[in-house]
Structure formats: structure tokens, C-alpha cells
């Protein structure tokens, strides 16, 4: 184990301790899975910088064994002691309480949802354990879902469960793949551990990269760029880490560090396929958001286009424009004009970035006040790319939704009530669905770090094509901070995230499945008559403004063809969503003629799900197509 401090002493003792190290790691790995960073809010509806509020949430320090410390060092020995302590099981939050809570939530969900017609409101179906909390999720073009977060340091959900302010090996990341084709059991998950790194935290102890609360977006070759993370200390400090996850080899690759540390940054893919990285707390700690904007890869490197173009050791580069956001995770969108819209949480920090000229200009002030972790969605605009964004959530006292279009803001129809930590998705039929939410960060209606939740935050809301909202059925778990959701290729919706609630409702806190996933079937899957079939799509790259053909055994029923971009999301920030209608140019037997969007500003290069829909809005199961050509 190279790099471990204090690795001295008699060979026999050294061997024994190293053996213990391996044994502890293997036997207790399932018990040390920490949860994402959680932070209470100073004022309801106004979140303070991450890491400031831990309530009594820091896990108590466990003393290291002196003999063990003499061999492997104080910090490493303390980590062992902490893991051994965790293995004995929680003392303050018993398993019976978790079991009773999950049973009660199951019952209340059944009672609440009984009156709802699945054909009108959809329905929640499967609920099953996951080995990860799903603080970060991404739907990959292989159909698998990447989930990553951190190793938990606490199993009591009334305390901070993540290693937010930890320095040393307990501040570590983890990652898994879920393969829906393999079902919902443990064999459907595969561990894809992040690279081992030496963090500049004074200990330089190797550990899986602590990339939780990073930012991420898709590259044109289907890989996920992940930037930033948590070095630990100072209320949470930004890491300079830069990785890609390769869905084709299911492997992580490390690139050159960024110029600055970033904890809570946002990332968006532009029309040229390069990624723009903004914001985040710097390496100097919480309260030091960076204004530096970076681009990956740097212009001197080609954009990774082919599936075997793996970015390894590539550099990002600093752009001339700055982005002095006062608060983290701004919403970023690349719209049909090729510009990047940076919609900050503060009403007066709404900016337009030109990624070619590298300039920043002001947008009008958004209505209402500060908004915390809420949704923002680029609204479908037919054949062309989106030209407007709907901002919603983030303020429990404001149910209104706000639309930015044509350089001005309008107040749109409100939802039933205000909520934060919500996730709003575009469905294949062009409607919107909000899931998850809370009163505030770590507050579900009864104070921070209290798993008890108001039922209202568990109910979904649906927005039709005319912009009208209606409340729908309830999900099993309340999911607030660190909750996530995405649309799967079969048209279902996956819901996960919020380690506090997952830990509070874990049916077996001692096993390695300490997260959970719930599946929802939208109403279009319950309208009868069967689904359209999409049997074959082109296998090569599709150019812009190009005609192409697909095959369907139900071609006569097909009325619409839709491209839906896959989601990669964290902290209610989803920069990848996009919905485009493709013109049907003709139907000949089982062959349907279609045309791709006009250009890369309408749909940035990369992988999209192609759905065929019938007159009732029922979608086929999607197949993946790739837009664009190789770009330099």
C-alpha cells in the first residue's frame, strides 16, 4: 500500500496491520457508504453556502488504536476505528425505526394514490434497493444509468451523513452502474469505482476520488465529463479534479486538473461539443465562489467524437469571460442561438455568454427573489432547438413559474405550492413532470435533519402542452436535497437520491444496498392499444438537416417522431435536457422518412433517444441515434 503514512515497524506487525487493513476494507465497505453532503438553511427559502450548517451533524470522532496508529498513521488508524464502530450498528437510530418508517410511507402512498387513474396521472410501480445514494445520475447511451456519490460517515439521518468537512480517507467517492435490462436486484448493479487520488489536504492519503457535488455534462462521444468535488475542510473546499466516464468500457479516466477548485459547479455542452464550466466554491473553502470560466477540452485538443476517442490527460483552458455568481450551481443552457444562458440563483445574476467571442452580457433581472435548489427546463419548441427556459421551484413560498423568452421574463401559471429540491423533466410527449421536493434544504416540513415529511412534497405535478399544472400521485419516499430523476429509454421515469431519506428508510442498514430507486410509469403507458414499434434506426452518424429513414412494424400509427436528450443531473441542475420534434417526410410500408434538426445550435452533437409516438401520445421504446459529425 504505497503512500500510507507511518508504514514502519517490525515486519510482523506491519504485515498484521496491513492484513487488517484489507480485511476491514473488504468486510466493512458496505457499512461505510456515506451519504451526500447535506446542509441546513439559515433562513427558510434562502440557503446559505454549503457546509456551513451541520446542526449536530458531524459524526463523533472515534479514537484510533495506538498500536495500529504506530504502524499506519493516526488518520488511517482512526478511519479503521470508525469503520469498526459503524459495523457495530447504529445506537441512536435503530433499525426498527427505519423499518417502521418505510412501512408507514408504503401505506400512505397506497392510500393517497388509490383514487388516481393511471391513464390520467400515471402510477408509481417498483421500489427497490440500490448500492448508491444517487447524488449524481446520468443516463448513458448504452441504456445503463451511472450513479455516484460518497461513502457515508454516519448512519443516523438526524445528523450529517456525508464527509462534507472531513479531511483524509473518509472523504471518498463511489460510483455504480444500474442496468435496467437486468432488473432490480443486486446483480443489476456494477461497481465502477473512481480513480484513486492523492488529495492536497495535508494527508495525501490515497482514496477513491471525492467527486461528490461536482458538475457534469455529456461529450459528443457519449462520455460524461465530471469536474470538481470536495477536498474537505473549511466547510467544504473545491477540488480541481477532472474526469470522464466512458460508458463503452465502463471506466473512469482522469484529465489534467482544472485551474481552480470547484465544489458545486455547473457544466453545459455547447454547440461545438465542448463543455463550459462555471462557478463552484474554490479550493480556499466555503464562501469563496470562483468567477473563473473554463472550457474542456482546450481548443488545442480535438473534441472527443468517436467512441474510442478517450480523453486522458487533456487540459481545460480558462476563458476570457468571467462568471461571478454569488451562489452555486447556476442553471446553464445552450439554446438555439448558440449562446449559453447562465441563470443564477440571485435574481440580478442572469447572464448571456458567447462561447465564441468569450464575452458576458447582462440579461434582465428575473422576477421574485433568491431561489435555492429548484428546477429550470428548456421548453420544447418543435423542430428547432429551445429558445426559452422555464424556471420553477427553489422557493417554498413562491409557487409561480418564470419564463425567459426573447430577452424578457414573464410570470407563468403557478404550481400547486412552492417547493425546493424538485426535479422537473421533459417527457417524450412534450409535457413536463415535477417530482421530489422539500420545504428547504434538509427540511421536509418539520425542521432540518428530521426525516418526517409533509405528504404534499411527495406528490408529483404534471404540466400539459397548454401550460396547465395538476397534482398527481405520491412517490414512496420523500426526496429533497440530492434527489434526482431521469427518463429511461422505455419511457418510464427513474427517481432516486436524498441520502437522508434513504438511510432513514433503509430496510437493512447493515447491508451494502443503502440507497433506493423508485420507478414511475407516465400516463401514456396506460392508454391502451399497445405502443408504436421502432424496429431499426441508422447506425452511423446523422448530419444536421439530413433526411434519414427508420423502420416500424406499426408505421401507419406513427404521428410524431421526437428526439429527447438523455439527462445528467445533480442538485436540481439538469443542463442536458432537450426535446425536438422531427418532421415526418413520408411513410412507405414499414419505412418512415424523417429529417434531423437544422444545426448544432438546435441540438448539440451527441447521442439522443428517438421516440415514435401515436395519435394518443403513446411513445415507442426509444432507440439511440447520434447527431453531428466529427468536430475539431
Q: Which of 434, 418, 422, 436 is nearest to 501 (CA)?
A: 436
Q: What integer pLDDT is reported at residue 85 of this predicted model? A: 54
Q: What is the pLDDT of residues 558-572, one digit of tens each?
A: 999 999 999 999 999
Measured CA to CA, the distance from residue 412 to residue 393 in angstroms comes to: 13
- State which H helix or E strand residue 119 sits in: helix 118-121
C-alpha cell at 284: 480556499
Is the torsion defined by CA of 36, 37, 40, 44 positive or negative? negative
The conformational region for residue 178 under phi > 0 = left, psi -120 to 50 = alpha, else beta, is beta
Q: How far apart are CA 325 and CA 328, in angstroms?
A: 7
Instruction: Report the percent of the chain where pLDDT is more than 70.
Output: 86
383-433 residue pLDDT tens: 999 999 999 999 999 999 999 999 999 999 999 999 999 999 999 999 999
Concatenated DSSP letters of 559-576: -EEEEEPPPEEETTEE--
Position 529 confidence tier, pLDDT thresholds 50, 70, 90: confident
Beta-carbon count within 10 A of 408 CB: 9
- What does the pLDDT read at residue 356? 97
Task: Give the tens place of pLDDT for each residue, 471-493.
Answer: 999 999 999 999 999 999 999 99
Q: Is residue 534 reached through a cis peptide bond, with omega within 30 degrees of 0 on the bond before it?
A: no
**Distances in Å between the alpha carbon of 308 and those of 217, 248, 539?**
18, 8, 16
Mean pLDDT of 228-233: 96
Q: How many of the other CB atoms lie within 10 Å of CB of 290?
A: 27
The closest alpha carbon to 193, from 255, 146, 144, 153, belongs to: 146
Name the helix (H) or strand (E) containing 105: helix 95-113
Q: Check if the beta carbon of residue 166 is closer than 8 Å to that of residue 65.
A: no
Dump the DSSP string for 501-517. HHHHT-S-TTSS--EEE
Question: Is residue 1 pLDDT above 90, yes or no?
Answer: no
Residue 63: what pLDDT? 76
- Per-residue pLDDT band for 78 (boundaries 50, 70, 90) equals low
14 exposure class (CB count in 10 Å sphere: 0-12, 13-18, 19+): middle
Tell me the three cell numbers of residue 381: 419548441
Distance (Å) of CA 372 to CA 263, 272, 365, 420, 481: 16, 30, 16, 7, 11
- Band (75; pLDDT cuts 50, 70, 90): low
Residue 74: the pLDDT is: 64
φ, ψ at 373 (rounded to 5°): -75, 95
Measuring CA to CA, how many Å separate 613 from each of 463, 494, 552, 558, 607? 19, 21, 11, 6, 19
Band (84; pLDDT cuts 50, 70, 90): low
Give the closest residue to 215 by CA, choosing from 148, 167, 166: 148
Q: What does the chain come to in residues?
A: 632
pLDDT over 50 at 495, yes or no: yes
Stretch 346-364: mean pLDDT? 98
- Say if residues 47 and 441 touch (Cβ distance below 8 Å): yes
Angle between helices 74-87 and 11-28 (to 10 degrees): 40
Whole-number Å distance between alpha carbons of 195 and 207: 8
- Averaged pLDDT for residues 324-334: 97
Q: Which residue has the higher pLDDT, 33 or 99?
A: 99
Average pLDDT over residues 187-211: 95
Per cent of the chain over pLDDT 90 is 84
With a cut of 70, say whether residue 44 has pLDDT above it. no
pLDDT over 60 (residue 27): no
**DSSP element (H, E) containing 25:** helix 11-28
Q: Are residues 500 and 510 in contact, defined by beta-carbon separation less than 8 angstroms?
A: no
Question: Is the pLDDT score of 17 beyond 70?
Answer: no
The dihedral through the CA atoms of 50, 494, 423, 138 has a sign that is positive
User: Residue 292, exposed/middle/buried by CB under 10 A (0-12, 13-18, 19+)?
Assistant: buried
Q: Tell me what pLDDT residue 510 has.
A: 94
Dihedral, 95, 96, 99, 100 alpha carbons, nearest 10: -150
Q: What is the pLDDT of residue 92?
A: 79
Look at residue 630 in the predicted model and tell me its pLDDT.
55
Helix (H, G, I), strand (E, B) or coil at 111: helix
Residue 550 to residue 594: CA distance in whole angstroms: 8
Distance of CA 494 to the CA centre of its chain: 12
Residue 98 backbone dihedrals phi, psi, to 5 degrees: -65, -45
Alpha carbon 271 to its chain's center: 22
pLDDT, greater one: 356 or 35: 356
Whether residue 83 is predicted with pLDDT greater than 70 in this model: the reply is: no
pLDDT at 31: 34
Block residue for cell numbers 466547510:
235
Strand-pairing partners, residue 403, are: 390, 410
Q: What is the per-residue DSSP string for 31-67? A: G----------SBTTBPPPTTS--TT-SPPPPPPPHH
Whether the pLDDT of residue 521 is over 80: the answer is yes
For residue 197, CA distances in Å to 3, 172, 280 come to: 11, 10, 20
User: What is the pLDDT of the chain when averaged over all its residues?
Assistant: 89
Predicted local confidence at residue 7, as pLDDT: 31
Quick one: 108 exposed, middle or buried, by C-beta within 10 A (0-12, 13-18, 19+)? middle
For residues 630 and 253, the model is more confident at 253
Q: How far apart are CA 435 and CA 425, in angstroms?
A: 8
Higher pLDDT, residue 33 or 499: 499
Q: What is the SS3 assignment for 112?
A: helix
Q: Is the pLDDT of residue 25 over 80?
A: no
Residue pointed to by grid coordinates 402510477: 123
Distances (CA, A) of 501 to 141, 161, 498: 29, 11, 6
Question: How much is the pLDDT for 59?
Answer: 38
Amino acid at each position: 500500500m504505497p503512500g500510507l503514512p507511518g508504514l514502519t515497524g517490525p515486519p510482523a506487525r506491519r504485515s498484521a496491520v496491513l492484513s487488517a487493513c484489507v480485511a476491514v476494507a473488504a468486510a466493512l465497505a458496505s457499512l461505510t457508504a456515506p451519504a451526500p453532503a447535506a446542509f441546513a438553511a439559515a433562513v427558510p427559502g434562502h440557503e446559505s453556502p454549503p457546509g456551513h450548517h451541520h446542526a449536530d451533524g458531524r459524526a463523533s470522532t472515534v479514537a484510533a488504536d495506538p498500536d495500529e496508529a504506530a504502524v499506519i498513521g493516526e488518520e488511517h488508524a482512526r478511519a479503521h476505528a470508525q469503520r469498526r464502530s459503524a459495523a457495530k450498528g447504529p445506537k441512536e437510530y435503530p433499525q426498527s425505526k427505519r423499518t417502521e418508517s418505510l412501512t408507514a410511507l408504503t401505506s400512505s402512498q397506497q392510500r393517497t394514490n388509490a383514487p388516481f387513474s393511471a391513464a390520467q396521472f400515471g402510477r408509481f410501480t417498483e421500489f427497490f434497493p440500490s448500492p448508491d445514494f444517487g447524488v449524481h445520475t446520468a443516463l448513458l447511451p448504452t441504456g445503463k444509468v451511472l450513479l455516484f456519490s460518497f461513502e457515508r460517515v454516519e448512519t443516523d439521518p438526524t445528523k450529517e451523513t456525508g464527509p462534507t468537512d472531513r479531511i483524509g480517507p473518509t472523504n471518498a467517492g463511489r460510483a455504480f452502474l444500474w442496468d435496467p435490462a437486468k432488473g432490480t436486484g443486486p446483480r443489476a448493479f456494477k461497481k465502477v469505482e473512481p480513480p484513486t487520488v492523492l488529495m492536497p489536504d495535508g494527508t495525501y492519503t490515497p482514496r477513491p476520488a471525492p467527486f461528490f457535488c461536482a458538475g457534469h455534462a455529456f461529450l459528443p462521444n457519449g462520455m460524461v465529463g465530471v469536474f470538481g468535488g470536495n477536498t474537505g475542510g473549511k466547510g467544504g473546499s473545491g477540488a480541481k479534479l477532472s474526469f470522464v466516464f466512458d460508458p463503452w468500457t465502463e471506466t473512469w479516466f482522469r484529465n489534467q486538473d482544472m485551474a481552480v477548485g470547484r465544489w458545486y459547479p455547473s457544466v453545459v455542452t455547447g454547440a461545438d461539443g465542448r463543455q463550459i464550466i462555471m462557478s463552484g466554491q474554490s479550493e480556499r473553502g466555503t464562501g469563496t465562489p470562483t468567477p473563473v470560466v473554463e472550457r474542456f477540452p482546450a481548443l488545442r485538443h480535438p473534441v472527443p467524437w468517436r467512441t474510442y476517442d478517450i480523453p486522458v490527460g487533456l487540459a481545460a483552458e480558462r476563458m476570457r469571460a468571467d462568471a461571478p455568481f454569488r451562489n452555486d450551481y447556476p442553471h446553464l443552457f445552450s439554446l438555439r442561438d448558440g449562446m449559453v444562458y447562465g441563470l443564477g440563483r440571485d435574481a440580478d445574476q442572469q447572464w448571456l455568454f458567447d462561447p465564441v467571442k468569450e464575452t458576458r452580457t447582462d440579461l434582465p433581472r428575473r422576477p421574485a427573489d433568491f431561489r435555492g435548489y429548484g428546477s429550470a427546463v428548456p421548453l420544447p419548441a418543435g423542430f428547432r432547438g429551445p429558445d426559452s427556459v422555464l424556471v420553477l421551484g427553489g422557493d417554498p413560498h413562491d409557487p409561480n413559474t418564470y419564463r425567459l423568452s426573447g430577452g424578457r421574463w414573464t410570470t407563468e401559471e403557478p404550481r400547486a405550492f412552492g417547493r425546493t429540491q424538485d426535479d422537473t423533466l421533459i417527457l417524450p410527449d412534450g409535457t413536463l413532470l415535477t417530482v421530489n421536493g422539500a420545504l428547504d434544504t434538509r427540511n421536509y416540513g418539520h425542521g432540518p435533519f428530521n426525516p418526517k415529511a409533509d405528504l404534499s412534497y411527495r406528490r408529483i405535478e404534471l404540466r400539459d402542452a397548454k401550460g396547465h399544472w395538476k397534482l398527481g400521485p405520491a412517490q414512496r419516499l420523500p426526496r429533497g436535497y440530492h434527489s434526482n430523476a431521469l427518463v429511461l429509454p422505455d419511457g418510464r421515469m427513474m427517481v432516486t437520491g436524498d441520502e437522508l431519506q434513504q438511510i432513514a428508510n433503509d430496510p437493512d442498514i447493515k447491508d451494502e444496498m443503502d440507497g433506493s430507486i423508485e420507478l414511475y410509469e407516465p400516463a401514456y403507458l396506460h392508454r391502451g392499444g399497445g405502443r408504436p414499434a421502432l424496429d431499426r434506426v441508422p447506425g452511423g452518424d446523422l448530419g444536421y438537416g439530413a433526411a434519414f429513414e427508420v423502420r416500424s412494424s406499426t408505421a401507419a400509427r406513427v404521428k410524431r417522431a421526437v428526439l429527447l436528450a438523455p439527462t445528467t443531473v445533480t442538485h436540481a441542475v439538469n443542463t442536458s435536457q432537450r426535446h425536438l420534434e422531427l418532421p415526418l417526410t413520408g411513410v412507405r410500408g414499414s419505412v418512415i422518412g424523417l429529417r434531423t434538426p437544422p444545426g448544432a445550435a438546435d441540438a448539440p452533437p451527441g447521442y439522443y433517444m428517438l421516440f415514435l409516438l401515436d395519435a394518443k401520445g403513446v411513445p415507442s421504446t426509444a432507440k439511440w441515434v447520434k447527431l453531428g459529425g466529427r468536430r475539431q
